[in-house]
Amino acid sequence: MKARSILQIASLFLLVACGGKDETIKPEIAAISESVYASGIVKSKNQYQLFPTVNGVIESIYIEEGAVVKKGQPILSIVNTTQKLNKENAALAASYYDYGTNQEKLNDAKQQIFLSKEKMKNDSALFFRQRSLFNQNIGTKVELEQRELAYENAKITYQSSIVRYNDLKRQLAFTSSQSKKSLEISESLQGDYTLRSDIDGVVYSIAKEKGELVGPQTAVAVIGDANQFILEMQVDEYDIVKIQKGQQVLVTMDSYKGQVFEAKVSKIYPMINERTKSFKVEAEFVKRPSTLYPNISFEASIVLRTKQKALLIPRAYLNPDNTVNLESGEKVKVTIGLKDYQKVEILSGITAQTVLILPE
């Protein structure tokens, strides 16, 4: 009984082995598409990370995750006591040096011009009268020289008062303008402490909480378009030369099992990622799923070429040297065309009636 059982098992093994060796097929006429595999993530169009430009502590968060925002709408604010005090000091300086506030100083300088001019006129009249008298031998030369000296001094004083007035006017205009600019700079810096949305969209993520310390290297939120999404793919450098804008992309996602979505290649980034040896390629849905979220992963086939009626065999029946095994045991050289992950097109060497066996 034991010997018979062993014989039966050996016979069964031999039958299975022979059946696998003699498995035959005929080529079929069907459609085939050659494509490039890619994987990636879904991103909202115009999606970006929001970074503060200053250091500080988050004072208030105005928006919840998932909220729809308008361009320029505040997202959060950062508090910095030093900057607040700087702004107040700049406001005080701008008020103190305001041109209008210092108008009295200009009026006083203008009055000095008037008085010095009147004194110069008076001293001029006295000098010329004294000189006329001196020419008539009335009065002394000393008196004439004194009158002349007084007139020259008055003239210099008058000219100096004009110079002082113009200098004061320029100085007041400069300090007024400078202090206002300082206030504008301070207010601009103060504006950096309120982070606003750059687009109309959705706040997909807020990474920090009130009271946390943040800086220019800290991403605090992710904002993107509410209704438009792109497919960001990584394509191997071996395949990138085959990719062109407008090519069809067939997309599958774990979020929508059993469904295939059509997209089109919209952008090819020309710089290779040296770490992954791949290129970034973007595609846009022809008709997108009803619900999408950023960072959903997907797999895609970028269709390069399609033929509706092609002579196809399973890739397993093609030998590495591009030959096939006939039922007779003969090997025949074939010319191949398009290939996908399962089948290969045969251009010449066999027909649809040729019977093939699986290579060992």
What is the structure's pLDDT at 189? Answer: 65
Cα gap 272→282, rounded to integer Å = 14
Strands of the 221-224 sheet, one edge to the other: 48-50, 221-224, 201-206, 68-69
Mean local confidence (pLDDT), 135-145: 86
Residue 24 has pLDDT above 60, yes or no: yes
Please tell me what DSSP assigns to residue 240.
G
Mean local confidence (pLDDT), 97-101: 75
Q: pLDDT band at residue 85, thresholds of 50, 70 and 90?
A: low
Instruction: Answer yes or no: are the C-beta atoms of 315 and 334 closer than 8 Å.
Output: no
Q: Closest by alpha carbon to 313, among 338, 283, 282?
A: 338
What is the structure's pLDDT at 106? Answer: 82
Q: pLDDT band at residue 248, thresholds of 50, 70 and 90?
A: very high
Q: pLDDT band at residue 8, thresholds of 50, 70 and 90?
A: very low
Q: Closest by alpha carbon to 307, among 31, 34, 36, 35?
A: 31
Cα gap 235→272, rounded to integer Å = 10
pLDDT digits (tens, 9 = 90+) for 146-171: 988 998 998 999 999 999 989 888 88
Q: Phi/psi zone of residue 258: left (φ > 0), alpha (ψ -120 to 50 degrees), beta? A: left
* Domain covering 48-53+57-79+194-221 in this structure, CATH number: 2.40.50.100
Cα gap 172→98, rounded to integer Å = 8
Residue 305 has pLDDT above 50, yes or no: yes
* Domain covering 39-45+227-303 in this structure, CATH number: 2.40.30.170
Q: Closest by alpha carbon to 233, among 298, 287, 293?
A: 298
Q: What tokens appear for 328 in the block? A: 């007779």
* Average confidence score pLDDT of the chain: 85
What is the structure's pLDDT at 1? Answer: 37
> Among all chains, which residue has been given the structure tokens 């008055």?
154
What is the structure's pLDDT at 141? Answer: 87
What is the structure's pLDDT at 237? Answer: 92
Q: Percentage of the chain surpassing pLDDT 90?
A: 44
Q: pLDDT band at residue 18, thresholds of 50, 70 and 90?
A: very low
Residue 10 has pLDDT above 50, yes or no: no
What is the structure's pLDDT at 319? Answer: 92
What is the structure's pLDDT at 104? Answer: 84
- H/E stretch holding 332: strand 331-333
- More confident position, 3 or 221: 221
What is the structure's pLDDT at 188? Answer: 66
Cα gap 55→193, rounded to integer Å = 9
- H/E stretch holding 299: strand 297-314
What is the structure's pLDDT at 222? Answer: 93
What is the structure's pLDDT at 5? Answer: 37
SS3 state of residue 347: strand
Q: What tokens appear for 61 in the block? A: 């968060």
Topology annotation, domain 23-36+306-357: 2.40.420
Residue 92 has pLDDT above 80, yes or no: no
Residues 6+ apart with CB under 8 A from 28: 311, 312, 313, 352
- More confident position, 81 or 12: 81
Cα gap 244→235, rounded to integer Å = 12
Q: pLDDT band at residue 187, thresholds of 50, 70 and 90?
A: low
What is the structure's pLDDT at 16? Answer: 37
Asked if the domains 23-36+306-357 and 48-53+57-79+194-221 are classified in one and the same CATH topology, the answer is no
- More confident position, 358 or 20: 358
What is the structure's pLDDT at 83? Answer: 63
Instruction: Answer yes or no: are the C-beta atoms of 309 and 29 closer than 8 Å.
Output: yes
- More confident position, 137 or 11: 137
Domain ranges of the chain: 23-36+306-357, 39-45+227-303, 48-53+57-79+194-221, 82-191
